[in-house]
Amino acid sequence: MAVVRIPEENRRIEDSEAIRAFLAGLSIRYERWAPSYPLTRESTQEEILRAYADEIEALKRDGGYMTADVIDIKPETPNLNVMLARFSKEHWHDEDEVRFIIEGHGLFHIHPREDSLGEGHAGPVVAIEVEAGDLIRVPRGTWHWFDLCGDRRIRAIRLFQDPAGWTPLYTESGAEQGYLPVCMGLQFIPLANP
Ligand SMILES: [Fe+2]
């Protein structure tokens, strides 16, 4: 289950209903899904999409998403650091970022702003650690960045309105440098500063 932290307030939320309600206040959708039949680590993309077909169809109708796929990132993925560096700097997309986690972990940081989320939404940076069973939908235009956790592993269903809209657009604010990518669900060993 996800863990939400608000570092500036030294606050942590671990109850799934409290997480859902808190993130809804930032226009971020959070749900827990269970597969319609058991999956294993060897399950194919097709089996995964079939196991969550009802949930995917409901989300597609609700958000206008046209396609769904499964991304599979492992420690041995070629050019992993280059790929991760694209998303670990603050950015936004002209497309919602919709992820349902099948395996592994990920850490989103959300930087709420009035002009991206509407009046009343500005506030401190929020860290959302996701794991298997977590659905997160970050609306288009939301400033955010993403890191893997210590397992350097994530397998996730993605939904797209138009995959071309998912290019990261950078704020160049450097805001991400003020937040350690700390994952609570795994032992985290910070890298020493050179
Ligand atoms: Fe993103």
Kindly report, residue by residue over 170-183, the tens digit of the pLDDT: 999 999 999 999 88
Kindly report, residue by residue over 153-170, the tens digit of the pLDDT: 999 999 999 877 788 999
Kindly report, residue by residue over 3-45, the tens digit of the pLDDT: 999 999 999 999 999 999 999 999 999 999 999 999 999 999 9
What distance in angstroms lies between residue 136's CA and the mean position of ligand 1's atoms? 12
Confidence of residue 184 (pLDDT cuts 50, 70, 90): confident
What is the per-residue pLDDT for 113? 86
What distance in angstroms lies between residue 160's CA and the mean position of ligand 1's atoms? 12
Q: Which residues, by Cβ under 5 Å, contact ligand 1, an ion?
A: 97
- What percentage of residues in the chain have a pLDDT greater than 70? 91
Q: Is 101 exposed, middle or buried (0-12, 13-18, 19+ CB in 10 A)?
A: buried
According to DSSP, the residues that pair with 128 across neighbouring strands are 4, 108
What distance in angstroms lies between residue 53's CA and the mean position of ligand 1's atoms? 24
| Alpha-carbon span 69 to 189, nearest angstrom | 32
At 11, list the tokens.
């606050």
What distance in angstroms lies between residue 172's CA and the mean position of ligand 1's atoms? 14
What distance in angstroms lies between residue 7's CA and the mean position of ligand 1's atoms? 20
What is the per-residue pLDDT for 194? 41
Helix ranges (DSSP H) in 68-190: 80-87, 114-117
The least confident of 27-36, 114-123, 124-133 is: 114-123
What is the per-residue pLDDT for 120? 59
**Residue 193 scores a pLDDT above 50:** no
Rounded alpha-carbon distances, angstroms, from residue 123 to 6, 9, 149: 10, 11, 25
| Alpha-carbon span 128 to 110, nearest angstrom | 8
What distance in angstroms lies between residue 126's CA and the mean position of ligand 1's atoms? 14
At 40, list the tokens.
């294993």
- Looking at every residue in the chain, the average pLDDT score rounds to 91
What distance in angstroms lies between residue 87's CA and the mean position of ligand 1's atoms? 6
What distance in angstroms lies between residue 17's CA and the mean position of ligand 1's atoms? 24
| Alpha-carbon span 22 to 164, nearest angstrom | 30
Sequence-distant (≥ 6) Cβ neighbours of residue 82 within 8 angstroms: none
Rounded alpha-carbon distances, angstroms, from residue 112 to 50, 57, 125, 138, 156: 34, 29, 7, 11, 24
If DSSP states are collapsed to H, E and C, what string results for 84-110? Answer: HHHHCCCEECCCCEEEEEEEEEEEEEE
pTM: 0.91
What distance in angstroms lies between residue 175's CA and the mean position of ligand 1's atoms? 15
What distance in angstroms lies between residue 148's CA and the mean position of ligand 1's atoms? 13
For the residues 126-144, what does the mean pLDDT come to? 96
| Alpha-carbon span 103 to 154, nearest angstrom | 6
